[in-house]
Amino acid sequence: MFLYEDRFQELTKPQSIYDLAITFDVLYEDQNILVVNKPVGLLVHEDINEDMNTLSNQVLTYLYQKGEYDPQQTLGFTPGPVHRLDRNTSGIVIFGKTMRALQDLNEMMKKRHCIDKTYLTICKGYMTSVELIGYMKKDSDRSLARMVSSNTEGH
């Protein structure tokens, strides 16, 4: 594989650690994984509008402050989330603190093995059904998601 020098430098530069306020709650932690409760309004990853105060960067700040992560000492691995939640969604996000844990957790998510995802919402008004089953279809170009039936192509 060939990388131009500027791209190589970009990919190998140490991760920046920002002095961020920690706004998440730790739900579980061991030497390999960190499970946090993400608050509403916080992005998991950077986007075009926010590149510093994200859940991922807050987690790096947290681990750095505990002495468990030092970007100057790492060989290219940065702890990261296994999945994400939208900005306006609160809930549990799992982080792999080691390369092996992140790989294993990603595989478990991909195969839906040992990790169940459940979403709970609050509705206002009268519900005619006790159970709602729906499928999400995302329109990335318009940054929208909508509910579709199970036979909709691409859900």
Q: Which residues are catalytic?
A: 86
Q: How far apart are CA 56 and CA 15, in angstroms?
A: 11
Token match 């100057």: residue? Answer: 72
How buried is residue 128: exposed, middle or buried, by Cβ count under 10 Å (0-12/13-18/19+)?
exposed
